[in-house]
Structure 1
Amino acid sequence: MQNFGETVRSIRTNRGIKQNELYNGILSKSYAIQFEKGLHDVSFYLLIQVLNRFPMEVDEFLYIHRGYQGSETAWFYDSLAIIGNDIDLEPLKKFKKEYLTRYSNSEHHKGRLLQIDFRIEQLTYYSSTGKIIGDTIEPQVQEEIQNLLRKIQAWTIEDFRFFSNVIDLVDIFDMTQYFKLLLKDINQYKNFESAKGVICILLINAINKFIFSDKREEAKELLRALNEFTKGIDQMFYRNYYFFFDAVVNKLDGDESGVQKAKNAITIFKDLGYEHHADMAKAILTEILTM
Structure 2
Amino acid sequence: MNFGETIKQIRTDKNLTQTQLSEGILARNHLSQVENSNYFPSYDRVFMLLDRLNITFEEFLFVQNNLQPHDKQQFRVNVYESASLNDSEQLKLLSLDADRLYKDTANICYYHYSLVCKAVVEYNKGSSITKEMIHYVEPIKKYLMDMDTWYIYELKLFSNIIFSLNVEEAVFFSRKAFKRLHSFRCFMEYQHTEQHLYLNLSTLCLEHEDFTTAKSFAKTAVDTAKNYRLIYEKICSELNHAIACIKLDEDKNSYEIIKKNMLILEYLEFDSLHEHFSNFLRKFDIVMDA
Q: 1:114 to 1:254 in 2, by over 3 A?
A: same
Residue in 1 aligned with 2:149? 154
Task: For residues 38-71 of structure 1, give each alpha carbon's deviation from its aligned partner in whole angstroms, at most 9, with x where no partner exists.
Answer: 3333344433332333332333223212322224
For 1:240 and 1:63, the matched residues in 2 are separated by 32
Residue in 2 aligned with 1:281? 277
Structure 1 outlier segments of 4+, above 6 Å: none
For structure 2, the 5+ residue unaligned runs are: none
Residue identity matched to 2:193? V
Residue in 1 aligned with 2:225? 230
SS of equivalent to 2:284: helix
Residue identity matched to 1:266? M
For 1:259 and 1:110, the matched residues in 2 are separated by 41
Q: 1:32 to 1:191 in 2, by over 3 A?
A: closer
> Does 2:115 correspond to 1:114?
yes
Q: 1:23 to 1:189 in 2, by over 3 A?
A: same
Question: Once the 2 structures are TM-superposed, how far is the Cα of residue 210 of structure 1 from its aligned partner?
Answer: 0.9
Aligned-pair RMSD on alpha carbons?
2.9
Residue in 1 aligned with 2:193? 198
Question: Once the 2 structures are TM-superposed, how far is the Cα of residue 207 of structure 1 from its aligned partner?
Answer: 0.9
Alignment of 1:64-213 (within 5 A): 64-84=63-83, 85-88=86-89, 91-101=90-100, 104-108=104-108, 109-123=110-124, 126=125, 130-137=126-133, 139=135, 141=136, 143-213=138-208
SS of equivalent to 1:40: coil
Residue identity matched to 2:178? L
For 1:67 and 1:246, the matched residues in 2 are separated by 44
Residue in 1 aligned with 2:261? 265
Identity level (%): 18
User: Scaled by the length of structure 1, what TM-score is found?
Assistant: 0.82
Task: For residues 225-270 of structure 1, give each alpha carbon's deviation from its aligned partner in whole angstroms, at most 9, with x where no partner exists.
Answer: 4245323565111122232222223223322221221221222222
Question: Once the 2 structures are TM-superposed, how far is the Cα of residue 189 of structure 1 from its aligned partner?
Answer: 4.2
User: Scaled by the length of structure 2, what TM-score is found?
Assistant: 0.82
User: Is the contact between residue 190 and residue 229 of structure 1 (CA under 8 Å) also seen in structure 2?
Assistant: no
Q: 1:188 to 1:225 in 2, by over 3 A?
A: farther
For 1:113 and 1:267, the matched residues in 2 are separated by 32
Residue in 2 aligned with 1:253? 248
Residue in 1 aligned with 2:34? 35
Residue in 2 aligned with 1:9? 8
Residue identity matched to 1:113? S
User: Is the contact between residue 167 and residue 205 of structure 1 (CA under 8 Å) also seen in structure 2?
Assistant: yes
Question: Once the 2 structures are TM-superposed, how far is the Cα of residue 275 of structure 1 from its aligned partner?
Answer: 1.9
Question: Once the 2 structures are TM-superposed, how far is the Cα of residue 188 of structure 1 from its aligned partner?
Answer: 4.2
For 1:216 and 1:133, the matched residues in 2 are separated by 16
Question: Once the 2 structures are TM-superposed, how far is the Cα of residue 223 of structure 1 from its aligned partner?
Answer: 3.1
Question: Once the 2 structures are TM-superposed, how far is the Cα of residue 137 of structure 1 from its aligned partner?
Answer: 4.4
For 1:120 and 1:99, the matched residues in 2 are separated by 14
Q: 1:184 to 1:225 in 2, by over 3 A?
A: farther
Residue identity matched to 1:117? K
Residue identity matched to 1:115? V
Aligned residues: 282
User: Is the contact between residue 270 and residue 278 of structure 1 (CA under 8 Å) also seen in structure 2?
Assistant: yes
Residue in 2 aligned with 1:218? 213
> Does 2:58 correspond to 1:59?
yes
Q: 1:277 to 1:261 in 2, by over 3 A?
A: same
Q: 1:189 to 1:266 in 2, by over 3 A?
A: farther
For 1:95 and 1:58, the matched residues in 2 are separated by 27
Q: 1:82 to 1:224 in 2, by over 3 A?
A: closer
